[in-house]
Chains A and B, each alone.
Chain A
Amino acid sequence: MSQHDQKIDKELFRIVGVQNEEAEKLSNKSVSFWKEVFLRFSQNKLAIIGLIVLMAVILMAIFVPVFSQYNYREQLGVYNAAPSLSHWFGTDDLGRDVFVRVWEGARISLFIGITAAVIDLIIGVLWGSISGLAGGRVDNIMMRIADVLTAVPYLLVVIVLLVVLQPGLVPMIIALSITGWINMARIVRGEVLSIKNQEYVLAARTLGANTKHLIIRHLIPNALGAILVTMTLTVPSAIFTESFLSYLGLGVPAPTASWGTMASEGNNAITNAPWRLLFPALFISLTIFAFNAVGDGLRDALDPKLRK
C-alpha cells in the first residue's frame, strides 16, 4: 500500500490546545490610532524637548508681560545696561527692559506664526481638497493657478505689498498668507487623491455615502495627520519670515517689539551691548528649533514607515 492511499482516522486526533472561540480572541489591549501616535511621540526625546521648550516659550509669552514690574515701552533711564538681577537680559538704548521686550516680541512672533498657519490651513485645505476631489479639468486649473503663484518671486511680492499697505501686523499676515497656503494645498490634494481611491472609500460609496459623509468620515480623519504636520512646520517658517522681514525694516513699526525688529536694532549695538541682539536671536532659533522638532516628531509618530 503506497503511503498516500492511507486513510487517517479522524478519531485519532484530539484538540489539546486552543479552542475555536479562543482563536478569535485579541489579547492585546485595544489602542486607538491617536493613542498609539502619542505613545510613539513620547518615545522621541528630541520631540519631547521641543514640546517642553515650546510650552515654556508660550507660557512665558503669556505671563511675563502681564506680571513683570516693567512695561515693554517704559523707558527706565538706564541705557544699554548689561544683564543684571534687576534687568535679566539688560536694557536697550532707550532704557527699555530687554527681558520684557523679548516676551512681548514672542507674543507678536507667535501670533503672526500661528495666524499665518491657521490661514494657510483654511485656504490650503479647502483648495487642496476641492482640487483633489473634483479631479480632471478643475484639478488641473486649480493646481496651475497655485503653480503660477509660486513662480512669482515671493520676496518681491511681500516687499511691494508692505510698501503699499504700510508696515504692520495685518499686512505682514497677508503677505505671509499670499503664497503660504500653496504648500498646504498641495499636500492636502495629494492626500485626498490617494485616500479617495482607497477601498474603504469605495465601500462607503457602495453603501450609498454622499460627498459630505466621505469628507467628514473618511477624508478628514485620514488626512489629519499630514495636515497637522504641515501646520506645525508652517509656524516656524512664518516666524522666520517675519523676523527676516522685520530685520530688513519691513516689520511691525516701533514701539511694538517683535523678535525681528529687536534683532535688527540690536545689530547696531553688537559691539557695546551684544545682549540686545543675542537674546531675540536666541529665542528665534530656539522657537524655530522647537517647532521643527515637534513637527518631525509628529510626522514620525504618525507614519513610522517614513522614518529613515
Chain B
Amino acid sequence: MAKKLVEIKNLKQYFGSPSNPIKAVDGISFDIYEGETLGLVGESGCGKSTTGRSIIRLYDITGGEVLFNGENVHDKKSGKDLKKFNREMQMIFQDPYASLNPRMTAGEIIAEGFIIHGLYKNKKERQEKITSLLEAVGLNKEHANRYAHEFSGGQRQRIGIARALSLDPSFIIADEPISALDVSIQAQVVNLLKQIQKDRGLTYLFIAHDLSMVKYISDRIAVMYSGKIVEVGPADDIYNSPVHPYTKSLLSAIPLPDPISETKRTRIPYTHEEQDETASFHPVNDKHFVYGTEKSFQKWMNNTSI
C-alpha cells in the first residue's frame, strides 16, 4: 500500500464561545495516501471546507493533530519550517471571483509565492516561470499582464490553479474548485486537475458536494455529515454499495441524465440517528469503513446487499 502523505487524527474545529461551541468539525480521522485523490463530500454546512482550511492552518484547530509526511503541521514552528510547509501544501479556492485580488495582474498573482519565498529573483527567470505555469493551465504568455476581472470564470479558476502550483507543492486541497463554474467549464477544470496530477504526481483532497463529479475524479471518497466522517472507502465501493443510510440518501439524490431512469429514481430520505460515544469505525472490507455504534452498524449491514 502507498505511503501515507497526510494523516488526520481526531481533528476538532470549534467556533464561538468555549461554553457553547459550534462544532464545525467534531473529531474526524482519515489518511490521505501519496498520489491519490480523496474526495470529501457532504451537504452544505457539514464542515467540508472547514476541514480543508484547518488542515492547511488557516484556522487554529481546537484539538487533534494533522501530520504531513509524519510531521505535525499545527505545532508551533519557526518561520523557516512554516515556509517549507507552505511550499508542500497548497489550496485551490471555491469562488474564482473572490480568490483573485482585483488590483493585481494574473502574472503578479502567480508570482506572489515567488515574492514571499524569495524565489526566482532574476526578472527574466521569473517571467519564464510565470509563462510556464500559465501554459500548464492552458493559458498563455499574453495573459500575464491582464487583470483578474478581464478573465472568464473558468480562466480565473485556472489562474488560481497556477498560483497553487507556483511553489511546486506535493499536496493540494481543492475546496469546491468547480461548484462556481458552468457545467461545460467544470469538465474542463476537472480534466485539467487530473492532467496536472498525472504530470506532477500530486495528491489531492478534493472537496465537493457534487457526487458524480467526485466519483469521476476520486480514488477514495469520504462522506461527511454534521462535522463527522460517516463513511470512507474506495470510490466504487461507496458508489455501488453504500452502507451508511446518509450515504444512501446522498446517492439517491443524484439526478440521472436519462429521462426514463430518472422517472424511476426514488429519493431515500435520511433521518438523523444519534450515535453515542461508543461509535467508531467498523470495517465493511479492508478499505471500506463506516462510522457508528456496533448496534447500528449491524442494522445497516443487514439492510445492505453487497
A binds B: yes
User: Does B95 lie at the interface of the complex (its beta carbon under 8 Å from any beta carbon of A)?
Assistant: yes
User: Does B33 lie at the interface of the complex (its beta carbon under 8 Å from any beta carbon of A)?
Assistant: no
Task: Give Cα A208–Cα B95 distance, bound, in whole angstroms.
Answer: 20
Are B150 and A208 interface neighbours, CB within 8 A? no
Number of residue pairs across A and B with beta carbons under 8 Å? 86
Are B160 and A30 interface neighbours, CB within 8 A? no
User: Does A200 lie at the interface of the complex (its beta carbon under 8 Å from any beta carbon of B)?
Assistant: yes
Are B98 and A24 interface neighbours, CB within 8 A? no
Are A203 and B91 interface neighbours, CB within 8 A? yes
Chain A residues positioned under 8 Å from B155 (CB to CB)? 24
**Residue in contact with A209 in the complex, picked from B116, B145, B150, CB distance below 8 Å:** B116
User: Does A198 lie at the interface of the complex (its beta carbon under 8 Å from any beta carbon of B)?
Assistant: yes
Instruction: Output the nearest chain A residue to B87 by Cβ-Cβ distance.
Output: A208
Binds A, one of B135-143, B229-237, B284-292, B294-302: B135-143
- Which A203-226 residues sit within 8 Å CB-CB of chain B? 203-210, 213, 217-218, 221-222
Are B101 and A206 interface neighbours, CB within 8 A? no
Are A31 and B99 interface neighbours, CB within 8 A? no
Instruction: Bin the interface of chain A by size.
Output: 20 to 34
Are B147 and A208 interface neighbours, CB within 8 A? no
Task: Give Cα A26–Cα B197 distance, bound, in whole angstroms.
Answer: 28
Instruction: Output the nearest chain B residue to A34 by Cβ-Cβ distance.
Output: B103
**Residue in contact with B113 in the complex, picked from A207, A221, A222, CB distance below 8 Å:** A207
Instruction: Output the nearest chain B residue to A224 by Cβ-Cβ distance.
Output: B103
* A178-205 near B? 1/0 per residue, CB < 8 Å: 0000000000000000000011101111
Are B151 and A208 interface neighbours, CB within 8 A? no
Chain B: minimal CB distance from A285 (Å): 36
Are A200 and B99 interface neighbours, CB within 8 A? yes
Instruction: Bin the interface of chain B by size.
Output: 35 or more
Known contacts A206-B56, A206-B86, A221-B101; decide if A26 and B113 are in contact (CB<8 Å).
no
Chain A residues positioned under 8 Å from B99 (CB to CB)? 199-200, 202-203
Task: Give Cα A205–Cα B85 distance, bound, in whole angstroms.
Answer: 12
User: Does B2 lie at the interface of the complex (its beta carbon under 8 Å from any beta carbon of A)?
Assistant: no
Chain B residues positioned under 8 Å from A26 (CB to CB)? 142-143, 146, 150-151
User: Does A68 lie at the interface of the complex (its beta carbon under 8 Å from any beta carbon of B)?
Assistant: no
* A17-28 near B? 1/0 per residue, CB < 8 Å: 000010010101
Instruction: Output the nearest chain B residue to A2 by Cβ-Cβ distance.
Output: B260
* A24-54 near B? 1/0 per residue, CB < 8 Å: 1010101111000000000000000000000
User: Does A4 lie at the interface of the complex (its beta carbon under 8 Å from any beta carbon of B)?
Assistant: yes
Known contacts A24-B139, A206-B58, A222-B103; decide if A199 and B151 are in contact (CB<8 Å).
no
Chain B residues positioned under 8 Å from A204 (CB to CB)? 112, 116
Are B143 and A203 interface neighbours, CB within 8 A? no
Q: Give the interface of B toward A (CB within 8 A).
A: 53, 56-58, 82-83, 86-87, 89-91, 93-95, 98-104, 109, 112-113, 115-117, 138-140, 142-143, 145-147, 149-151, 155, 160, 163, 166-167, 258
Q: Give the interface of A toward B (CB within 8 A).
A: 4, 21, 24, 26, 28, 30-33, 198-200, 202-210, 213, 217-218, 221-222
Which 10 pairs from chain A and chain B are nearest by CB?
A208-B86, A199-B99, A221-B103, A199-B93, A200-B101, A199-B98, A207-B113, A206-B91, A208-B83, A208-B116
